[in-house]
């Protein structure tokens, strides 16, 4: 199976620079009396907000490029079914995390900071400037792929027709925080319309066999349910 490379986060990188420059230039041209520090605050805020979008784009790209393995077995009726006990989680970080309610995804935090620092915003090299977590609400097992699927024929198949099968997944809720000089941005984001895709079940007489699966994010819907900008004193 081929997995598509998401170009969304690449576009966001370009937009960060464009939007930031446009915002600062707009303020500068609109009032020659504003101090340089005011321009800097506006730039910092826009970059911080762009960091939220950037991390969401990187998360979708990360999801789509994960190669998942589904264990399945032959049922008494001659069909096949995914084994819940051996089902992979949406992300391995969820399975291994000791956090109960919000599972941090360090690779997204670090890559977001690296991208921002790489285009010149060096404040983001510091730890804690971007926090990215998946809200599990104390129920990590609900993020097993077998429990996130909403369509029956992805998990069970009486007669496989030799084609890929897909199932819409339950929505994923994430919290993103980005810090900048003078404030902090926090966003609660709902990501829906994700699909799990698997290859056909192979005929087998083994007790347990396995097939490959992946997450299709090409039609993902991103909704910002809560967006707050906290201003500091600096």
User: Each residue of 148-190: pLDDT tens digit?
Assistant: 999 988 998 866 677 899 999 999 999 999 887 778 889 999 9
Asked if 165 contacts 186 with a C-beta cutoff of 8 angstroms, the reply is: no
Domain-embedded: residue 3: no
Domain that holds residue 82: 8-231
Residue 192 forms beta bridges with which residues? 221
- Quick check: is 119 in a domain? yes
Task: Tell whether 224 is covered by a domain.
Answer: yes
From 15, 12, 20, select the one nearest 45 (Cα to Cα). 20
In a domain, 83, yes or no: yes
In a domain, 158, yes or no: yes
Q: Mean per-residue pLDDT for 55-61?
A: 94
In the prediction, which pLDDT does 169 show? 98
Tell me, yes or no, whether 144 lies in a domain: yes
The secondary structure element, H or E, covering residue 198 is strand 195-198
223 — pLDDT class (breaks 50, 70, 90): very high
Mean predicted lDDT score pLDDT of the chain: 82
pLDDT value of position 12:
55
Give residue 35's pLDDT.
56
Token pair recorded at residue 76: 């008494």
* Residue 131 burial (C-beta neighbours within 10 Å; 0-12, 13-18, 19+): buried
Residue of 2 and 190 predicted with greater confidence? 190
- Return the percentage of the chain with pLDDT > 70, whole number: 77
Please tell me the total count of domains within the chain: 1
What's the rounded Cα separation, in Å, for the pair 208 and 202? 11
pLDDT above 60 for 8: no
Residue 1 lies in a domain: no
d(CA 231, CA 41): 10
2 falls within a domain: no
């Amino acid at each position: 199976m081929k997995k598509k490379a998401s170009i969304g986060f690449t576009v966001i990188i370009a937009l960060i620079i464009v939007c930031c420059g446009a915002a600062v230039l707009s303020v500068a041209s609109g009032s020659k009396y504003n101090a340089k520090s005011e321009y800097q605050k506006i730039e910092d805020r826009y970059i911080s907000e762009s960091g939220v979008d950037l991390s969401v784009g990187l998360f979708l790209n990360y999801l789509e490029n994960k190669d998942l393995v589904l264990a399945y077995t032959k049922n008494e009726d001659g069909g096949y079914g995914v084994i819940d006990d051996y089902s992979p989680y949406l992300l391995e970080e969820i399975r291994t995390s000791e956090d109960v309610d919000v599972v941090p995804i360090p690779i997204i935090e670090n890559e977001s900071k690296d991208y921002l620092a790489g285009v010149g915003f060096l404040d983001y090299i510091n730890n804690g400037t971007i926090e990215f977590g998946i809200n599990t609400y104390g129920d990590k097992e609900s993020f097993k792929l077998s429990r996130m699927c909403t369509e029956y024929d992805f998990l069970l198949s009486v007669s496989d027709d030799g084609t890929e099968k897909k199932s819409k997944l339950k929505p994923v809720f994430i919290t993103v925080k980005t810090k900048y000089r003078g404030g902090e941005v926090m966003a609660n984001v709902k990501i829906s319309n994700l699909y799990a895709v698997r290859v056909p079940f192979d005929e087998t007489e083994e007790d347990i066999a396995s097939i490959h699966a992946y997450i299709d994010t090409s039609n993902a819907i991103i909704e910002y349910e809560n967006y707050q900008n906290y201003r500091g004193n600096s």
